[in-house]
Amino acid sequence: MSDLTPPPSSDDPNRLLLPPHLVEGYEAFLTGRFKQERDHYRHLAEAGQKPRVMLIGCCDSRVSPEVIFDVDHGDIFVVRNVAALVPPYHPNNDLHGTSAALEFGIMGLRIEHIVVMGHARCGGIKNFAHADADPYQRPLSSGDFIGKWMSLIEPAAARLGHARDPLEKYVEDLALESIIQSLINLRTFPWIKNLEERGIIKLHGAYFDIANAVLRVFDPLKERFVAISSAIHAEAFAEPRF
């Protein structure tokens, strides 16, 4: 826009208030799903949310819990942050977004299951591992928030030992171990620990591979992550027969 071009007026319908593809998506939602499920949306608005599952996932735009688990709106209470981490219980005057969401989900919504879901090729985990492999670089140590947040991985990294080759395998191991660390941290919240011991809530760990859609879950008896729904997964990837 040149200096001679006047800014759009406040009543100009073509003003860019949102990215165009979001506006197009909203319009498709209005004429598609919302139109078909209007009564269900009205019920959700009037009855409120009553999800049984709370999922703590990564804010990575490639990993959408609602898509992965094919759930309807209102079915899961989702909290997303960098690398799907859970901090330990530490009440003070700081601002605690994930901890506040946990408190609301457990004490307010009476959630029955908490799922911590990490994923393959996580940028936060990868950068933490690369910084450990090369101590001359600290890509996540600068800035106002990210370096401190990623320090939550340090107990998991300490159990694994320093980064090693092949680094790609170490990154995956660290991602899995960080999920276990988040489950450990969940149990530092007194009300979560109490409810789990009484069998009222259950804690779960999960790991999703973006490239091949393999979902692994933590088996506490085997003390490792195991793939689930393997037969259905194989069927989904089978070559079509003509």
Binding-site members for Zn(2+) are 58, 60, 119, 122
CA distance 192 to 99: 11
The two tokens of residue 202 are 């259950």
For 163, residues 6+ apart whose C-beta sits below 8 A from its C-beta are 129, 130, 132, 133, 170
Q: Concatenate the DSSP letters of all residues of 15-73 into one string.
A: --SS-HHHHHHHHHHIIIIIHHTHHHHHHHHHH----SEEEEEE--TT--HHHHTTPPT
What is the chain's alpha carbon radius of gyration, rounded to the nearest angstrom?
22
Q: Going by DSSP bridges, is the β-strand pair 224-227/215-219 parallel, antiparallel, or unpaired?
A: antiparallel
Residue stretches of the annotated binding site = 58, 60, 119, 122
- Given a contact cutoff of 8 angstroms between Cβ atoms, the answer to whether 151 and 87 are in contact is no
